[in-house]
Structure 1
Amino acid sequence: MESPYKSIAENIYEKGYVVVDDFISDDFREELLQEQQEILAHGQFRHAGIGKGNEFQIKPEIRSDKVCWMDHLNLTPLQNHYWNEIEKIREKINQRCFLGLRSFEAHFAMYPPGSFYLRHLDQFQNVKYRVVTTILYLNQKWEPGDGGALRMYLPKCEGQEEIMDVFPKGGRLVVFLSGEIPHEVLPTLKERVSITGWLRDIEY
């Protein structure tokens, strides 16, 4: 049986994206979700913004989620376990795609009911080092009527796009090329939780 890490790398090479259901066990997902809830209860989440450095702005009309960044030098045991899983993906993508991925950054992301994030690319002028996006969903249960889908605009020939909606089912991992696939988070009707991260071609 082919390893999930090798399969992820092959899909990134061939299509630029992949969706993997049940990437982690349900017990591990539940533990990560509990840790996120505890961090949220301690007031460590902040309103997400757009731009970097001096250009950072909070624009709720563009995105209305809240985030809590993970410190790669001070990871909890659960976060370290997840980091190790991403490291296996990084190694396989580098072997297959020669992207020179060297580090990983990530945060818990929480979308309250009614929140969204308009269409955007994860790689822009000030973050060209973000090469591959990873999103792991932690929600307990999710139905299509709950909204909150990740809508990806997949490039097709002659400038056309194909729309693909991915619902934030718990344990589902989405991986895609940060600079090539525009995407948005459609309005969610209930709290939506994930770990969103980026494999980068720079060191920390």
Structure 2
Amino acid sequence: MEGKFAAIIDALASNGWIIIPDFLPKNYLKNLAEEASSAWESGDFRRAGVGQGDQLKVRTEIRSDFIHWLEPENLTALQREYWQLLDDLRLEINRHLYLGLRSFEGHFAVYPAGSFYKKHIDQFQTTRHRMVSCLLYLNENWQPEDGGQLRIFYPGSEERFIEVLPEFGTFVCFRSDTIVHEVLPAKRERFSLTGWLRKDII
């Protein structure tokens, strides 16, 4: 994992994003994907909103996914393992990039068929705590025709971008304050564990 952390740090310091296939062992990913799917089938997800606090609103014309927040005090053993990994990454980023990261928050996300999230950045305008976005995809046998690509725009450009298939085990990490991105419409259920390294304690 040290080599992957080093690659993440180098990428964050240069172009601001990185894509790493097969980030974690397949058995671990299968079990984590089962937890996400089970929570979805149990009705534990809610419609995602736009904004925060009093400004939080459901606006399905902007984003139409569903989320299930994972609370640190109620994590499963698998989720605790992932939280620890991200905490290790947090410490390494602080050691090299001096971002002052202090915590991690995350949720399962699902995009049902037809769902999308239009172009945005992850850092809120009113509070600037989110600094690094971390996405882990949990979709086995995902094909290009399934849609749901993450489109990442190069800094300062509205036309130059790359597209990432949400393939099983792919990890995407990028700066929350600078990287504009969007999720193209998915044609089947699309699961991820999405989170942020933050500058405050949550």
Normalised to the residue count of structure 1, the TM-score between the two structures is 0.95
Which residue number corresponds to residue 37 of structure 1? 37
Which residue number corresponds to residue 180 of structure 2? 182
Which residue number corresponds to residue 55 of structure 2? 55
State the alpha-carbon separation in 1 of the partners of residues 183 and 112 from structure 2: 12
Identity of aligned residues (%): 43
Task: Report how many aligned residue pairs link the two structures.
Answer: 202
When the two chains are superposed, the root-mean-square deviation of aligned CA atoms in Å is 1.4
- Given that residues 135 and 175 in structure 1 are in contact (C-alpha distance below 8 angstroms), is that contact kept between their aligned partners in structure 2? yes
User: Secondary structure of 1:125's match?
Assistant: coil
Which residue number corresponds to residue 169 of structure 1? 167
The offset of 1:127, in angstroms, is: 3.6
- Given that residues 51 and 126 in structure 1 are in contact (C-alpha distance below 8 angstroms), is that contact kept between their aligned partners in structure 2? no
The C-alpha deviation readout for 1:39-61, integer Å capped at 9, x for no partner, is 11221100000011110100111
State the alpha-carbon separation in 1 of the partners of residues 9 and 88 from structure 2: 10
User: Secondary structure of 1:155's match?
Assistant: coil
State the alpha-carbon separation in 1 of the partners of residues 158 and 44 from structure 2: 41
User: Secondary structure of 1:8's match?
Assistant: helix
- Given that residues 107 and 196 in structure 1 are in contact (C-alpha distance below 8 angstroms), is that contact kept between their aligned partners in structure 2? yes
Aligned amino acid, residue 134 of structure 1 = C
- Given that residues 13 and 96 in structure 1 are in contact (C-alpha distance below 8 angstroms), is that contact kept between their aligned partners in structure 2? no
User: Secondary structure of 1:145's match?
Assistant: helix
The C-alpha deviation readout for 1:69-100, integer Å capped at 9, x for no partner, is 00012211010011111112111111111100
Give 4+ residue runs of structure 1 displaced > 3 Å after superposition: none
Q: What does 1:146-165 align with in structure 2 at a 5 Å threshold?
A: 146-155=146-155, 161-165=159-163
The offset of 1:144, in angstroms, is: 0.8
Which residue number corresponds to residue 121 of structure 2? 121
Normalised to the residue count of structure 2, the TM-score between the two structures is 0.96
Which residue number corresponds to residue 139 of structure 1? 139
The offset of 1:126, in angstroms, is: 2.9
- Given that residues 121 and 178 in structure 1 are in contact (C-alpha distance below 8 angstroms), is that contact kept between their aligned partners in structure 2? yes
Which residue number corresponds to residue 85 of structure 1? 85
The C-alpha deviation readout for 1:106-161, integer Å capped at 9, x for no partner, is 000000000000001101223410000000000011111111000011125xx565
State the alpha-carbon separation in 1 of the partners of residues 51 and 2 from structure 2: 39
